[in-house]
Amino acid sequence: MNRLKNKVALISGALGGQGQVAVAKFIEEGAQVFATDLAPSPHGEVASLLGSGSDKLAYLGGDLCDSELLDQLVNTAITKFGQIDVLFSNHGVMVGKPFLDTTIEELDRVLAINLRAPFLLSQLVAKQMVQQGNGGSIVHNSSVGGIVGFPTMAAYGASKAGLAQLARSMATDLAEYGIRVNAICPGVVDTPMPERYVEGLGVDKQTVFQEMEQMHLMKRLGRPEEIVNLALFLASDESSFMTGSVIPIDGGLTAI
Ligand SMILES: NC(=O)c1ccc[n+]([C@@H]2O[C@H](COP(=O)([O-])OP(=O)(O)OC[C@H]3O[C@@H](n4cnc5c(N)ncnc54)[C@H](O)[C@@H]3O)[C@@H](O)[C@H]2O)c1
C-alpha cells in the first residue's frame, strides 16, 4: 500500500489505457501524482479521482511536443507538490505504415512524440531531481517494437528503440546523482492504441487481434495493470539496484 509513500510522480499519457491505471495505482501506493495528457481537461479514472476531491492528484493538459508546456508542467508540479521523485514517461503514439509508404510528416511526428518529448521532459525532470539532491526514478515506456522488427512499424519501432537507448544513456549520466533510469518494453497491451492501429490498417480486426494474441507465448494480450505493476516496481525503492535496464514485459513474445 505504501510503496510510493512521500513520493511525487509525474505521469504522462495519463488518460490512456495504461496511464489511467498508473495514476490510480501510484496514488493507491501513497504517491502524489501530477498527471498530463493531450486533452485540456481530464476524463475517465483521472476525472473521477479529481472529482472525488483527491488532494493527491493534479492534472495539466497539452501537447508534449510543445517545449513551453514541458517547462510549465515541471514548474506547476513543483508549485503544487514541492518536488518530483518519479517520472513515468508513458505517453506515445503509433503509426502503422509500411516502411516504403511512411511520409516525412509521419516519421517526424512519431519521433517528436515518442523520442524528442521524453528526452526533453526527462531532462527537465532530471535537472529538478539533481537540484533536490535526493535521487529519483525515471521510467520510459518503450515497446517490444523497439526490440524486434514488426511489419508496418518502422517509424514506431525506431522511436521506441531510441527511447530504450535513451534510458541506458541517461542512466550512465545520472547514476552519480542517485537517479535511476529504466525502460519497459510491453508486448501488445489491451488499450485503445492497438485498436486504433488495427483500424488504420483497414483489415479484418478480429483476425489481426487473434494473430497478435498468438505472437505471445501466453496467447493473449497484456492487461494495463500488468504493465503498470512493473512501472510501479521501477518507480519504487524496491528496485534500488536497477538502472539502465530495458525490460521486456511481453507474455514471452521476445522469447520466441
Ligand atoms: N498498447 C500497446 O499495445 C503498447 C505496447 C507497447 C508499448 N506501448 C506504449 O505504452 C505507452 C502507453 O500507451 P497505451 O497502451 O496506454 O496507449 P493509449 O493510446 O491508450 O495512451 C497513449 C496516451 O499518450 C497520449 N499522447 C499521445 N501523443 C501525445 C502528445 N503529443 N502529448 C501528450 N500526450 C500524448 C495520448 O493522448 C494517450 O492518452 C505508449 O508509450 C505506448 O507506445 C503500448
Q: Average pLDDT, whole number, for the chain?
A: 97
Taking only the tens place, the pLDDT of each residue in 83-124 is 999 999 999 999 999 999 999 999 999 999 999 999 999 999
Give the burial class of 94: count Cβ atoms within 10 A of its Cβ; 0-12 exposed, 13-18 middle, 19 or more buried.
buried
What grid cell was written down for 42?
Answer: 481530464
Q: Which of 46-60, 73-87, 234-248 has the lowest mean pLDDT?
A: 46-60
The full set of domain ranges for the chain reads 8-255
Give the residue from 60, 64, 100 showing the smallest Cα distance to 81.
Answer: 60
Q: What is d(CA 220, CA 211) in angstroms, rounded to the nearest whole number?
A: 10
What grid cell was written down for 111?
Answer: 519521433
Single out the catalytic residue among 59, 156, 177, 197. 156
Give the residue from 21, 54, 59 showing the smallest Cα distance to 40.
Answer: 59
Is the C-beta atom of 130 inside 6 A of ligand 1? no
Catalytic status, residue 156: yes
Is the C-beta atom of 191 inside 6 A of ligand 1? yes
Q: What is d(CA 65, CA 12) in angstroms, rounded to the nearest whole number?
A: 12
pLDDT at 202: 83
Q: Give distance in angstroms: CA of 82 to centre of ligand 1.
A: 27
pLDDT at 20: 98
- The proportion of the chain whose per-residue pLDDT surpasses 90, expressed as a percent, equals 94
Q: Which CATH superfamily is domain 8-255 in?
A: NAD(P)-binding Rossmann-like Domain (3.40.50.720)
pLDDT at 203: 86
Give the burial class of 203: count Cβ atoms within 10 A of its Cβ; 0-12 exposed, 13-18 middle, 19 or more buried.
exposed
Taking only the tens place, the pLDDT of each residue in 140-155 is 999 999 999 999 999 9
- Beta-strand pair 57-61/32-37: parallel
pLDDT at 200: 83
Q: Is residue 163 scored above 90 in pLDDT?
A: yes
pLDDT at 53: 85
Taking only the tens place, the pLDDT of each residue in 4-39 is 999 999 999 999 999 999 999 999 999 999 999 999
Number of H helices, E strands in the chain: 9, 7
Sign of torsion, CA 58 52 86 115? negative
pLDDT at 28: 97
Which atom of ligand 1 lies closest to the CA of 94?
43
Mean pLDDT value across residues 166-180: 98
